[in-house]
Amino acid sequence: MSLFLVVSVIVIASAAADDNCDVSKYITCMEPIHNVTFGHQNGLFQDSNDLATSCPIIKTGIKCIKDFATECGTDMIAENFHEQFERPAEFLTKICDSDSPLRTEYLKASPCLQEHSDDLEVCSTKVQEFLAMLDDADTNEKEMTMTCMYEMMLRACLLSTGAEKCQLETASFIRKALLYSPSLGMQTCSKE
């Protein structure tokens, strides 16, 4: 009888863990973060009043995702959890820390970046158009080269556009922000 109880408890606990690890739980964690960043009326470029509302939601979402990862593992979240979640989460945490120098730089850069957000978005299009003119990547080596080119050209465009439209101080902030950006392309560039 006691063996039956132990097996029953294990089966029930296992089923409960599976329910807790359903991808919808992760989506429930992530959706509010998306809504207060990309879905916000000012997008990613918010002022201190916006951050007062957004940051508690961001912090709760980050904790929710970390709890999910601890309980369920990181496979459902990202191929490289550190690069694709932890680094961007660290950036958001610093933006939400009122004592962080990065937050101060963000708040200085944000109004100009918001004003010129269309110019920044053009960077991705320009780079894609350039790469489309090249030969198709018919080998792994060519694919790696094109991925690396895309990443480097995109970053260069973002930095130069930031400097041109918003001055060098803003380009400096963009450079720092890109350090937290998930970049499989930059990892590709560092491979032999």
Write the pLDDT tens digit of every residue in 40-64: 887 778 899 999 999 999 999 999 9
**Euclidean distance between CA atoms 54 and 32, whole angstroms:** 9
Question: What pLDDT shows up at residue 75?
Answer: 79
More confident residue, 55 or 18: 55
> Mean pLDDT lowest for which of 12-21, 64-73, 106-115?
12-21
Q: What is the mean pLDDT of residues 144-166?
A: 91
Q: Which of 54, 52, 51, 49 lies closest to 36, judged by CA?
A: 54
Instruction: Give the whole-number percent of the chain exceeding pLDDT 90.
Output: 45
What confidence tens digit (pLDDT) does each residue in 174-186 have?
999 998 887 666 6
Question: Quick one: CA dihedral 163, 120, 108, 86, positive or negative?
Answer: negative
What mean pLDDT do residues 19-24 have?
82
Q: Closest Cα to residue 82, out of 192, 160, 4, 184?
A: 184
Q: Which of 13-17, 116-120, 133-137 has the lowest mean pLDDT?
A: 13-17
Burial label, 70 (beta-carbon count in 10 A; 0-12, 13-18, 19+): exposed
Is the separation of the CB atoms in 77 and 130 below 8 Å?
Answer: no
Q: How far apart are CA 43 and CA 19, in angstroms?
A: 33
Q: Which two tokens stand for residue 77?
A: 């979240």
Q: Which of 176, 155, 165 is closest to 111 using CA atoms?
A: 165
Q: Show the DSSP H helices in the chain as ranges.
A: 2-20, 23-36, 48-72, 81, 87-95, 101-115, 117-132, 140-166, 168-178, 184-189
Residue 97 token pair: 């820390």
